[in-house]
Structures are given as C-alpha cells and as structure tokens.
Amino acid sequence: MSYPDWNLTIGAIVAPFSRFGEVKVRIETDFPERFKGLETVCIRALDGVGRLMAVERTRFHKGHVLLQLKNVSSINAAEELRASLVQLRQQDAVVLPENEYYVHDLVGCTVFLDSGRELGRLNSVMRGVANDVYVIGQGKEEILLPAVRQVVVSVDIAERKIVVSLIPGLLPGEAEAT
C-alpha cells in the first residue's frame, strides 16, 4: 500500500539491533521525544511501499532509537526493514512556534529578492552549526543563503514564497563589500 498521508519522516532504519527483532533507527527529527509513546508508524521501503506497523516498545541507545515492532521478532525479520523510513502522518507533526518551519514545507518555495527579482526555487536546506543554509538553484547557478533574520524577510508557506534581503557578496559573481 502507499499510505500517502503517512509521509512525515522521523527516522530511518539503519540495522537490526537484537536477535529479538529490534531495529536501530537514525533520528531524523528535531523532536526525538516524539518516539516515546508511538503506537503506529508507517515503515516505508526504498521502493516506496509502506506498511503500517504497531510499535511495541521504544528506547534510546547511543544517539539512536531502538524500536520493537509488532510481528518483527527475529534478526532476519528486522534485516528486511533495513534502509526503510519511519514515518508518521502530517497531522501528527509537532506544531512549531511562529517563524519556524519544517524543511519539507520550505523546499520547492520560490525565492524572491525584496526588490521583486526572482532568484529561483529552494532545492534543499543544509543544516549548519550556527544556522541553516538555503540552497537555491543548482550547478553554476546555485545560490547559498544563510537562513538568518538579516537575510530572510518573510516566508509564506501557503503562497510557496520566500522573500530575502541580500547582504553584499552573497550572490555568485558579486563582489563583497569592502
């Protein structure tokens, strides 16, 4: 089945963990506490096929989550789930504070300068230590913009539009301010 509503990825299964069928999950959410109390998840294989599975137990171990899924009771059964995504429904997403956004909501938005000039589509967001970086365009046309208040003027998810104000030197081929 496809389960199109179950497309919010919170983790990826990296390996079986025990001979009893636990799976080791790389956390792919800013809210790892959401693993506690999970009752059902969609396990989506690389081919896109998903299946709803009941969660029997979760626990944290060395920066990962260990999941025990119902009817997965051997290392071989757990191995079959390797590289699958652990997903929830969009409606189960944590409500974010004002002016914070999920990456999947930002990707695909059109980015404009505050002057009205279109820069292109936001293709990805790179996670940084100090701040995230928006990647607009690709190849020689790629633009990297820091996702900071001095640069990002507004985000309108409904309109799929991001407005930015550039600091001199941010556009390719543009000389930095001296």
Query: What's this model's pTM, rounded to 2 decimal places?
Result: 0.74
What domains are defined for the chain? Answer: 8-92 (2.40.30.60), 103-164 (2.30.30.240)
Question: Can you give the pLDDT at residue 174?
Answer: 64
- Give, for all 178 residues of the chain, the pLDDT tens digit: 789 899 999 999 999 999 999 999 999 988 999 999 899 999 999 999 999 999 999 999 999 999 999 999 999 999 999 999 999 998 888 888 888 888 888 999 999 999 999 999 999 999 888 999 999 987 777 899 999 999 999 999 999 999 999 887 777 666 554 4
Q: Are strands 40-44 and 143-146 parallel, antiparallel or unpaired?
A: unpaired
